[in-house]
Structure 1
Amino acid sequence: MHIIFAILAGLAILPLLFRSFFPYIIQDWAHMANVMGSIVKFAKRSRRNPPYLVLDRFFEQVQKHPDKPFIVSRDHTYSFRETDRFSNKFARVFRIHADLKEGDTVALYIGNEPAFIFIWLALAKIGCPVALLNCNIRSKSLLHCFSCCDAKTLIAASELTDAVVEVLPFLREQKASVFILSAESTIPGTETLIDKIDQASDQPIPQSERSSITMQSPAVYIYTSGTTGLPKAAMINQKRLLSALVVLSSVGVHSDDVVYVNLPLYHSAAFLIGFIGSIEAGSTIVLRHKFSVSQFWDDCRKYNVTVMQYIGETMRYLCNTPKKENDRDHKVRIAIGNGLRADVWREFLTRFGSVHIMEFYGATEGNIGFINYVGKIGAVGRVNYLHRKLFPYALIKYDIEKDEPVRDSQGLCLEASKGETGLLVAKITQIAPFSGYAKNHQQTDRKKLGDVFQKGDLYFNSGDLLRIDQDNFIYFQDRVGDTFRWKGENVSTTEVADIFAMVDCVEEANVYGVQVPELKGAVEEVLPALREQRVTVFILSGEADTEGVESLADKIEQAPDYPLSPALRSHVTAKSTALYIYTSGTTGLPKAARINQERIWAASFLQGIVGVTSEDIIYINLPLYHSAGLLMGLCGAIERGITVILRRKFSVSQFWDDCRKHNVTVIQYIGEVLRYLCNTPKKDHDQDHKVRLAFGNGVRSDTWSEFLQRFGDIRFCECYGATEGNVGFVNYVGKVGAIGRTNYIHKVHTTLNIRCLHSESTVTVASLLDGTESSKKASELLCPKCSWRQKQNWKDNNRCNLPLMLSDLIM
């Protein structure tokens, strides 16, 4: 009897012991069951002939519940049937007016709106791969993304017209078709879409239009940034796209759910998980143009949202809003995303209630992914036996200093121990392939790592450092490549440096990212070092809620506005440092060019040299942290006593409107600015302005000629100079293509004594030629009895008695 009781007691306590030693066994088995179900479903579909595509699943949903809402956007609702019919209209327009056929790649340059989904489905129906262009890219990056996937056609939103105009000449060279999502367009070489859609048939597109599509055919190109600089196009084939169908359903999303999509559809998270995943589940998509922290919960309540997507930044923004009594008044039950910090995770749950947060890890081009189905705070996933067997992966030891994996004496990699940070690598197999990047074999090969655990094997190199703890939870630690996060996106430091290098006064630029722990913590990374150096840190506006940072706005508001005593600057001389302007070079870190008072005076005279008078109004839209905007623009305006129209940054669409509104007579430029202006659509009032003078640098001869022909008789003064240099030129003649003119006095590097005929005083101008200490300060050149513009008053006392123009004298 005692034995029976002992056995029963043992059986009774066994589940408790089992749960103690295997606390996540139930979730593990449930997840494995979901994974197995998804794999079986995927295997059946991928073996069908003709191939079963994502489009076929969409057709099934149209047949199953045609009147069910599929897309809700800005109070407009489109059922599955309406979405199907709209996409048929777009497909027919593309076949007739764009002459698109199966296999032609189309670049989609549109934000989050129903037309994005209509167009993607339309192109899928006629067998066209789609390149999803980031709506924030411009110029060089835009052209690169269009070209690298061999796109034939560009479809752009109407609000992105200015960006299209910038690259239109290059698109014409490639004989690309350009469609604008509007009913009318005044841009030559582009076609409209909306007017054609209204007249198109909504009858189904026959399957024969896509009969040659296989599971290996490209379906979509999604762009990702990395150490190469320009974005790389990750090719997602039909098989990979089909596998994305089951992501949402595998975490418990079903047809009764309402999925809130406010992340960009041109990224994999929103496109593959939000949009494609909703096709599989048959759920409703609430499509938001972009994330809005003030409208987020109102939208969730209004549309009865049950599933939301996130990135770490959006969750942090939500937690930073003022608390409200209705914070928990919503129906959201699942949140799926990535990049969520542990502290924000806890705060979100505490404040907004019991939402099942499913943090995941994955790369657009990668062959491995994890999902934290347990809800362990801070983890991106969990080691699962079945998952690891199907998709072999490992964390290997990585030498951060050498930026390479650690290898043993035989040249093989070493697996990281539990609790140790290691580089994630995943074996490239038939089940887990790596398709690489379009037209970028070099970067494709760089993502492959060979001889990992045995000679000849091949793994995908994620470039990410992860850690597995003793409970088999996986944590993201860091990224190896030269990228930084900005508003939830990976940004290439090289690409940003290339943008800076487009400014002609920048010789070379180097960019790196720093960690910003808090919203106003842009300097927190270096605050400890600044404190040691007793550096005071101010923020210009807002509250300084970070230790060691003070608010300048508060002090300005309290300060009196009476003038400061000149005695405070009585020690300042011509050689005193006035400011530092940074320029980059081969050293990597920016170099601080020291600008003294004398140099500022010299630079400020440029406007007088080129003929600016006190009656002029100058338009400055170049950055004031560069020498062109600050020294030649703002300081020159102070010297001349003229009005400055200060624009935060250059806008091609607002440039001439600003000039007309403010009666601008003088403009500054760099070559890119003028090229953008020339690429805008021609208008009847192009020459209706008062601009008479333009000075700057970097303008090409063809742009120069085109600008004059189109915008009228404007005097150009092209300049040359370096922030830290001691020589400069001005093309005061207006010779197209030249940056200056050889001048006898300019070439002389000995001291020149210049005598003023009125005052009989003699001044030395060697400082303006070679920067020697022996020369007198530049301000002495401005004789109190004479004007710089009276050219007869200045003579070379040593060399000739010919009258000299100021431009001849100095430049």
Structure 2
Amino acid sequence: MNHSTQNDLISITDVAAKLPKFISKVPHLLSGLKQAYLRTPNTPAGLGIAFEKAVKRNPQGNALLFEEQKFTYQALNEWANQIGHFYLSIGARKGDVIAVMVENRPELVATVIALAKIGVTAALVNTSQNSKALTHSINLVKPIAIIIGEECRVAVDEVRQDLLLKEDRFHWFADQETLVDAGKSPKGWTNLAEKIIHFPKFNTPTTQSIQGKDGLFYIYTSGTTGLPKAVIFTHSRWTLAYGTYGHILALNSDDVMYCTLPLYHATGIVVCWCGVIAGSATLALRRKYSTSAFWKDVKKFDASAIGYVGELCRYLMDAPSSELEHGHRVKKMIGNGMRPNIWDKFKQRFGVEEILELYASSEGNVGFSNIFNFDNTVGFSPTPYAIIEFDKESNSPVKDAQGWCKKVKKGEVGLLVGKITRRSPFDGYTDPEKNKSVIMKDVFTQGDSFFNTGDLVRDIGFRHAQFVDRLGDTYRWKGENVSTTEVENVVSEYEKIAEAVVYGVEIPNTNGRAGMAAITLADHAEFTEHDLQQMTTEFKKCLPAYAVPVFLRIQVHVETTGTFKYQKNTLKEQAFDPNKTDERLLVLLPNATGYCDLTAEIFNNIQAYQYRF
């Protein structure tokens, strides 16, 4: 992100200064790396084995907190075993898939552990999905059963006739504490809490037979066609995350990780939870993120660590100060997407000492983590990778005279690619065509292959990188590439603006796309005439002329997905047409010194090419 300067480059002196604190983590880290890197596709590995080890280390310690419920490691393990034994009894076998659609609550956690132990892949369906996308997500992975929480039943019932499942394989959990009261299942649904009561609580016999290459989860990522893609997450990959991120976090049995991120995505279910399991610590769950409840929950659960994505940090920064945000135990955070323009402010305001920012993708084979606790970096990578020169105009890597790709110099930005090897395989998507499009061959030598992450990063030295942009998050205007991230950072710095989402929109008779920002205002703020001038001055001061947004759209709140990713497609489609939205639209007309309201008349004049942008 272009807030960075040469100050962010890392020298040997910087690394040396971080060593004393880092050394205290080394024994724990080495134990993790041993597990992460001694694995092969055929090694017994994964979530089930790691969880059973945590149970042995801390049987009576709390494994899970939710609302007023508490589960020790032993109790959670016994519950998962009952679910596992039930599925073995109906013929579920290693390699089968079961779709799971339950919101963040104990039933989801117990189910995921159960399926991991018996080698069944859990397809973690986004709990806000419905209709066509939901049918597609479930049928895509050919499940033998579906497990849902009552909170998701209406959506599933609506598409039930389109699901390729046997009638007796629709399994249900009541939306309550089902171990205390199983509830009464609706017609056509099997009550899972009732079914498992008489099954044994001892460990399922299958756990040690699960190998690295076996599927643990399907995680869905947003597809370019609008329909989700399912990415396989193997036990081997989980073990790599557990051995690295999990041990770097260095939690112990006194620690409590507060997670409000949805567990159908990897940041929640892999990154946050594997740190908990590695330290036999406690996972405190909230069903859905809430700014107003955040610090109350931190106090209630006595959390010492939190899981985050960038937008969650932005929401907390934008909230008014409260007594609750001080005097807590939170010193560590793990997640991704912390913006450089709030990194320092966040640490100071909330008393956080360590931000374990990391970089990984559900489908990729390259990962970084901030093990030395530098600011403004996704951290260090032990996996084989390269940052190569990339030409945005031709949308392709720059080649040398021999036809090989070229690595960037320290301080420069390039395309991140991960080398595909036996120890860092590319597990890929369910769709083989999609796999072909992201694998690059003969990059530096004949026969090598790399995974194209689609991300631009800056090489800041000592195998550290800084995230700059998604290739898909740039647009061209006035012959220049504009980084949406950079513009979002500048726009959201304006004091009355809480949040900004930037994208390119087409203006008739112009080349490329003009910048447009959908913004939400800070609490009770309103734009005055002075703001419309002042904002323009500030944007022009901090951004190149071609990157200053031409259009602004003032929203009550920004539409996001479950992981707080912005819903840009709808915004792009509606663009700056006042007939498609009743929200206030502003435009910076050519040669104007400030924004003005975009009226129907101005819109028609733009369409008729009356202005030369």
TM-score bracket for the superposition, by shorter chain length: 0.7 to 0.9
CA distances 1:115-150 after superposition (whole Å, capped 9, x unpaired)? 111111222233211111111222222222212222
* Aligned residue among 304, 311, 314 for 2:312: 314
| Cα contact 1:539–1:550 (8 A) shared by 2 | no
Residue 385 of structure 2 corresponds to residue 393 of structure 1: yes
- Report the Cα distance in structure 1 between the residues aligned to 2:201 and 2:132, rounded to whole angstroms: 39
- Contact 2:45–2:211 (CA under 8 A) maintained in structure 1: no
| C-alpha distance in structure 2 between counterparts of 1:479 and 1:547, whole Å | 34
CA–CA distance in structure 1, aligned partners of residues 317 and 371 of structure 2: 23
- The change in CA–CA distance for 1:466 and 1:540 in structure 2 (over 3 A counts) is closer
Q: Does 1:437 align with 2:429?
A: yes
Matched, 1:367 2:361: no
Q: Choose from 367, 375, 378 the match for 2:376.
A: 378
Determine the structure 2 residue equivalent to 1:235: 232
Q: 1:288 — aligned with what?
A: 286
Identify which of 331, 337, 352 aligns with 2:329.
331
2:117 matched to which residue of 1? Answer: 125
Q: Which has the larger radius of gyration?
A: 1
Q: Is the 8 A contact 1:521 1:546 kept in 2?
A: no
1:403 aligns with 2:401: no
- Report the Cα offset of residue 192 of structure 1: 2.5
Of 130, 134, 137 in structure 1, the residue corresponding to residue 126 of structure 2 is 134
**In structure 2, how many angstroms separate the alpha carbons of the residues matched to 1:468 and 1:113?**
40
2:47 pairs, out of 50, 54, 61, with 54
Instruction: Tell me what 1:461 maps to.
Output: 452
**Offset of 1:113 from its aligned partner?**
0.3
Question: In the alignment, what sits opposite 2:437?
Answer: 446
Structure 2 Cα separation of the partners of residues 353 and 109 of structure 1: 36
SS at match of 2:325: coil
Residue 153 of structure 1: aligned partner: 145
Counterparts in 2 of 1:212 and 1:356: CA distance versus 1, 3 Å: closer
Q: What per-residue deviation string (whole Å, max 9, x for no partner) do you get for residues 458-501 of structure 1?
A: 001111000023676421111013799xxxxxxxxxxxxxxxxx
Matches within 5 A, 1:58-207: 58-96=51-89, 99-172=91-164, 177-182=169-174, 183-188=183-188, 190-197=189-196, 199-207=197-205
Q: Deviations over 1:431-469 (max 9, x none)?
A: 11101112x001111111112112221001111000023
Structure 1 residue 320: Cα displacement: 1.5
Once the two structures are superposed, what CA deviation does each residue of 1:535-589 show, in whole Å capped at 9, x if it has no partner? 9x999997345576989xxxxxxxxxxxxxxxxxxxxxxxxxxxxxxxxxxxx97
Measured after TM superposition, the shift of residue 366 of structure 1 is 1.2
Q: Distance in 1 between matches of 2:521 and 2:242?
A: 48
Amino acid at match of 1:465: L
Cα distance in structure 2, aligned partners of 1:339 and 1:78: 31
Residue 777 of structure 1 is matched in structure 2 by none
For residue 74 of structure 1, what is the amino acid of its counterpart? E
Q: Specify the code of the residue in structure 2 equivalent to 1:443.
A: K
Q: How does 1:710-789 map to 2 (within 5 A)?
A: none
> C-alpha offsets along residues 321-377 of structure 1, whole Å, 9 cap, x if unaligned?
222345321111111111111222122122112421111111111111111233332
Deviations 1:191-244 (A, max 9, x none): 2223324x333432541x467643211121112224354222221222222222
Q: Is the 8 A contact 1:261 1:288 kept in 2?
A: yes
User: Residue by residue, what CA displacement relative to the aligned partner does 1:13-52 show, whole Å, maximum 9, x if unpaired?
Assistant: xxxxxx9962212536747776544322335566997x24
TM-score (norm 1): 0.56
1:62, 1:81 within 8 Å by CA — same for their partners in 2?
Answer: yes
Give deviations 1:681-703, integer Å, cap 9, x for gaps. xxxxxxxxxxxxxxxxxxxxxxx
Q: Give 1:186 deviation, angstroms.
A: 3.5
Provide the aligned C-alpha RMSD in A.
Answer: 3.6
* Contact 1:263 1:310 (8 Å CA) reproduced: yes
* 1:482 to 1:160, Cα distance in 2 relative to 1, 3 A: farther
- Superposed displacement of residue 407, structure 1: 2.1
Match of residue 543 from structure 1: 524
Separation in structure 1 between the aligned mates of residue 529 and residue 499 of structure 2, nearest angstrom: 11
**Which of 325, 342, 353 is 1:355 aligned to?**
353
Q: CA deviation at 1:255?
A: 2.4
Q: 2 CA distance for matches of 1:371 and 1:135?
A: 29
Give the paired residue count: 498
Aligned counterpart, 2:481: none
CA distance in 1, matches of 2:277, 2:105: 17
Q: Which amino acid aligns with 1:56?
A: I
Of structures 1 and 2, the one scoring higher in RCO (CA 8 A, sep 6+) is 2
CA contact (8 A) 1:360 1:371 kept: yes
Match of 1:268 in 2: 266
Counterparts of 1:413 and 1:33, CA distance in 2: 38
Does the CA-based 8 Å contact 1:71-1:284 persist in structure 2? Answer: yes
- Distance 1:350-1:77 versus aligned 2 partners, 3 A rule: same
C-alpha spacing 1:257/1:46, structure 2 compared with 1 (3 Å): farther
* Structure 2 CA distance for aligned equivalents of residues 40 and 539 of structure 1: 47
Q: Tell me the amino acid that sits aligned with residue 453 of structure 1.
A: F
Give me the whole-angstrom Cα distance separating, in 1, the residues matched to 2:279 and 2:91: 34
Cα distance between partner residues in 2 of 1:333 and 1:593? 46
Gaps of 5+ in 1: 1-18, 485-513, 552-587, 596-622, 626-811
**Contact residue 271 and residue 334 of structure 2 kept, 8 A:** no
1:480 to 471, 477, 496: 471
- The alpha-carbon deviation at position 106 of structure 1 amounts to 0.4
Distance 2:521 2:461 in 1: 47
d(CA) in 1 for partners of 2:105, 2:474: 29
Question: Any gaps of 5 or more consecutive residues in structure 2?
Answer: 1-9, 175-182, 476-486, 508-513, 533-571, 583-613
Counterpart secondary structure, 1:462: strand
Q: Which amino acid aligns with 1:442?
A: E
Residues 379 and 186 of structure 1: CA distance in aligned 2, closer, same or farther (over 3 Å) = same
Identity %: 31
One-letter amino acid of the counterpart of residue 451, structure 1:
D
Q: Give the AA of the match of 1:238.
A: H
User: The residue matched to 1:89 in structure 2 has which SS?
Assistant: helix
- With over 3 angstroms needed to count, the CA separation of the structure-2 counterparts of 1:593 and 1:427, relative to structure 1, is closer
SS in 2 for 1:481: helix
Partner Cα distance (2:322, 2:520) in 1? 29
**In terms of mean alpha carbon deviation, does 40-49 or 69-78 score higher?**
40-49
The CA deviation string for residues 511-550 of structure 1, in whole angstroms up to 9 with x for no partner, is: xxx95843655588799x9xxx9x9x99999734557698
The answer (yes or no) to whether the contact 2:66–2:106 under 8 Å persists in 1 is: yes
**TM-score under structure 2 length normalisation:** 0.73
Query: Cα deviations across residues 290-341 of structure 1 (Å, max 9, x unaligned)?
Result: 2121121122122221111111111111112222345321111111111111
- 1:224 equivalent among 212, 217, 221: 221
Distance in structure 2 (CA, Å) of the matches to 1:74 and 1:191: 26
User: Which of residues 24, 33, 50 is equivalent to 1:39?
Assistant: 33
Which stretch shifts more, 116-125 or 71-80? 116-125
1:250 paired to 2:248? yes
- The C-alpha deviation readout for 1:50-74, integer Å capped at 9, x for no partner, is x244312222222332211110101
Q: Are the counterparts in 1 of residues 500 and 519 from structure 2 also a CA contact under 8 Å?
A: no
Equivalent residue for 2:178?
none
State the secondary structure of the residue aligned to 2:387.
Answer: strand
Whether the 8 Å CA contact 2:408–2:459 is kept in 1: the answer is no
